């Protein structure tokens, strides 16, 4: 305003346009676009709600043998059967030393 680049009327129109867009557009977008609806099907994907014949996939990450025995006991407690198998994907974690970055 001090440089007189915009007139008072132009500044008023731009300011009210920005305010209108800030107030009106988000509710309109929320009415039209519902991103949560896409993920509602994943709400029921928990261990408790699995079908009896569904497979259970487990990613087991270990760093040493002491942790491996604990993970093995945990997996054995799931009590897998032929009807509901467990597929275990194991990952052995190794600490990289002598590098500049993590």
What 3-state DSSP class applies to 34?
A: coil
The answer to whether position 14 is within a domain reads: yes
pLDDT-derived band at 17, boundaries 50, 70, 90: very high
Q: What is the mean pLDDT of residues 21-48?
A: 78
Instruction: Indicate whether 21 pLDDT > 70.
Output: yes
The answer to whether position 20 is within a domain reads: yes
Instruction: Classify the phi-psi angles of 79: left when phi > 0, otherwise alpha if psi is within -120 to 50, otherwise beta.
Output: left
The answer to whether position 23 is within a domain reads: yes
> Which residues form the domain of 8?
1-44
The answer to whether position 58 is within a domain reads: no
The answer to whether position 73 is within a domain reads: no
The answer to whether position 83 is within a domain reads: no
The H or E element containing residue 4 is: none
Instruction: Classify the phi-psi angles of 84: left when phi > 0, otherwise alpha if psi is within -120 to 50, otherwise beta.
Output: beta
The answer to whether position 74 is within a domain reads: no
pLDDT digits 0-9 by tens, 43-89: 666 777 777 777 888 888 888 888 888 888 888 888 878 887 888 88
pLDDT digits 0-9 by tens, 63-72: 888 888 888 8
The answer to whether position 80 is within a domain reads: no
Work out how many domains the chain is built from and give that number. Answer: 1
């Amino acid at each position: 305003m001090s440089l007189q680049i915009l007139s008072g009327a132009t500044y008023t129109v731009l300011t009210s346009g920005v305010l209108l867009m800030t107030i009106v557009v988000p509710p309109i977008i929320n009415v039209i676009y519902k991103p949560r609806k896409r993920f509602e099907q994943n709400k029921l994907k928990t261990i408790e709600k699995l079908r009896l014949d569904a497979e259970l996939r487990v990613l087991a990450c270990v760093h040493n043998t002491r942790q491996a025995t604990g993970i093995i006991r945990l997996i054995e407690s799931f009590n897998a059967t032929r009807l509901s198998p467990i597929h275990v994907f194991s990952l052995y974690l190794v600490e990289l030393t002598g590098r500049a970055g993590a």
